[in-house]
Amino acid sequence: MPADPKPEIASVWTRPQRRREQLSREQIVAEAVRLLDADGLEALSMRKLGTRLDAGATSLYRHVANKDELIELVVDEVYGELAVPAAAGPGEWREAAARAAYSQRAMILSHPWIASVLGQVGLLHLGPNVTKVSERMAAVYRTAGFREAETELALSTVIAYVIGMATSEAAYLSLIARSGSTEREFARGLPGGTDAAGAGADPERVREETFDYGLQRVLDGLQARLGPTAR
């Protein structure tokens, strides 16, 4: 007798969407992102989300099985904001990689909760936006000339830098928001704040320059792996 087929693993990405109900998965995800942006990860619950949508939690469960699935959906939603340019040749890889890194930084600063949930999203069922962005990023590093075995390592190194720096920036900006001050006012109040950036310096520009300095040094290290031909 032929062996029984292996049962499919349930996933939010393979479950058919209900089309005739007043509440859609897209509405649920969009409202969940707004809730997370406003109040943070700790505030997210199916009950609270249902209240914001003027629907019971039971209505949400018809579309999303649990909070873990909701997290997968919102992560994929915000990944759709990322812009990853293609590199036409080895000489263009570095600019494309830097622009993708800046786009990821902007996404994290817009959605500070994202960094803390990236590790919770399983690798088995990646959503369409995460899959597309990951493939486009990997293509940049392949075009640079990295061997297949090193492509993922090179990409992961840059992503780790971006997440680490952007998460620190997001926490800093959240602290400023809670203080009720502008960023410039807050920076002046720090010990040595004025001298550190220079009198009258734009603190937003200083943050961007700091991010870019580290990013370029990471890319320098990867460039050295490729040699001078990929410059």
Average pLDDT over every residue of 211-227:
95
pLDDT digits (tens, 9 = 90+) for 63-119: 888 888 899 899 999 999 999 999 999 999 999 999 999 999 999 999 999 988 876
Predicted local confidence at residue 4, as pLDDT: 54
Between 4-18, 188-202, 209-223, the lowest mean confidence (pLDDT) is in 4-18
- Mean pLDDT, the chain, rounded, equals 85
Share of the chain above pLDDT 70, in %: 82
pLDDT digits (tens, 9 = 90+) for 148-163: 989 999 999 999 999 9
Residue positions counted in the chain: 231
Q: Which of 170, 155, 178, 40 is nearest to 105 (CA)?
A: 170
How many whole angstroms separate alpha carbon 21 and alpha carbon 70?
Answer: 18
Q: Which of 141, 102, 135, 99 is nearest to 226 (CA)?
A: 141
Q: Is 2 left (phi over 0), alpha (psi -120 to 50) or beta?
A: beta
Full set of structural domains in the chain with CATH: 1-79 (1.10.10.60), 90-230 (1.10.357.10)
Residue 26: pLDDT band (50, 70, 90) is: very high
The letter for the amino acid at 139 is: A
pTM greater than 0.95 (yes/no): no
Cβ-proximal residues to 104 (8 Å cutoff; 6+ apart), any chain: 82, 159, 162, 163, 166
Higher model confidence: residue 5 or residue 209?
209
C-alpha 119: how far from chain center: 11
Sequential DSSP letters for the chain: -PPPPPPPPP-TTTSPPP-SSSS-HHHHHHHHHHHHHHH-GGG--HHHHHHHTTS-HHHHHTT-SSHHHHHHHHHHHHHTT------SSGGGHHHHHHHHHHHHHHHHHHSTTHHHHGGGS-SSS--HHHHHHHHHHHHHHHHHT--HHHHHHHHHHHHHHHHHHHHHHHHHHHHHHHHT--HHHHHHHSTTHHHHH-TT--HHHHHHHHHHHHHHHHHHHHHHHH-GGG-
How many whole angstroms separate alpha carbon 94 and alpha carbon 144?
Answer: 8
Sequential DSSP letters for 168-203: HHHHHHHHHHHHT--HHHHHHHSTTHHHHH-TT--H
